[in-house]
Amino acid sequence: MKIYDFTQDPNPRRVRIFLAEKGISVPYVQVNIGTAENRQPAFLAKNPLGTLPVLEFDDGAFLAESVAICRYFEEQKPEPNLMGRDSRERAFIEMWQRRMEFEVLNLTAQSFRNTTEFFKGRIPQNKEYAEVCRNTAIKRFEWLDKELANRPYIAGDRFTIADISAMVGVDFGRLTNIRIQPEQTNLKRWHDSVSSRPSAKA
C-alpha cells in the first residue's frame, strides 16, 4: 500500500494530517504537480482526473478523493475517532466536513488556481471567478468566527476531520491573501489550537 502525495498542496495534506492523528504510517510517493507529472500517462492510468492524493492498494486498486481515503482508514482504525461514533455524530461531522471542503478549502483553492502563474496554460483560468471565490471565502471566515464563539472545534467539542479540512483551507488562503482578521478572535483561537497539534506539520 502507498499514497501518491505532493507535499506543497492542500488535499494531500489533509490525508497526511488525518493519518498522523491516527498514528498510521503508509509510504508516500511524491508526484510533482509543479512539473505536471500528475498529468503524464503513468499517473493518469492511476487516476484519470490527474489529482492527488491517491491511495494504491496492494491488489492494484487506486482510491482517489481525500475523504474517501480518510474513510477507509477510519474504518480500519476507528480510534482516535475523527469521523463520528454513531449515526447522529457521523452525520453532523459530515455536514461540517462538507461545509469546510466546499465553503472554505474549495474557495481558497479556486482563488489560487484561477490566478497563479503556476497553472497558467495548464488549466483554464478565470480571474473574475477567482475574485468571487476570494470574496466568498472572506465572508466564510466571518461566518466561522461566529460559529466558533460557543464551541472549541468546527463540529463540536472535539477535533475531527472537519477541523482538518478547515485548517488546510484557511492556511491555503494565505497564498491569495485571504487571512484571519485581527477581530476574528474565535477563529484565531481555534486556528492556534489546531495548528499546535503535531499532526499539523505532517
DSSP for 75-108, written as a single string: HHS--S-SS-SSHHHHHHHHHHHHHHIIIIIHHH
The grid coordinates listed for 92 are 453532523
Query: How many other CB atoms sit within 10 Å of the CB of residue 73?
Result: 19
Q: Which is nearer to ligand GSH, 52 or 148 (CB)?
A: 52
State which of positions 9-68 bind ligand GSH (CB under 6 A): 9-11, 33, 38, 50-53, 65-66
Question: Are 107 and 175 contacting, i.e. CB atoms less than 8 angstroms apart?
Answer: no
Taking CB under 6 A as the rule, which mask of x and - marks residues 138-177 in contact with ligand GSH?
----------------------------------------
Stretch that binds ligand GSH, among 5-13, 143-151, 156-164, 175-183 (CB under 6 A): 5-13
**Is residue 114 part of the contact set for ligand GSH (CB under 6 A)?**
no
What's the min distance (Å) between Cβ of 152 and ligand GSH?
A: 25
**In angstroms, rounded to a whole number, what is the distance separating the alpha carbons of residues 98 and 115?**
24
Q: Which is nearer to ligand GSH, 101 or 145 (CB)?
A: 101
Q: How do 54-56 and 62-64 pair as beta strands?
A: antiparallel
Q: How far is CA 30 from CA 6, 12, 188, in A?
A: 5, 10, 32
What's the min distance (Å) between Cβ of 176 and ligand GSH?
A: 14
How many residues bind to ligand GSH according to rule CB under 6 A? 11
Query: By the criterion CB under 6 A, which residues form the site for ligand GSH?
Result: 9-11, 33, 38, 50-53, 65-66
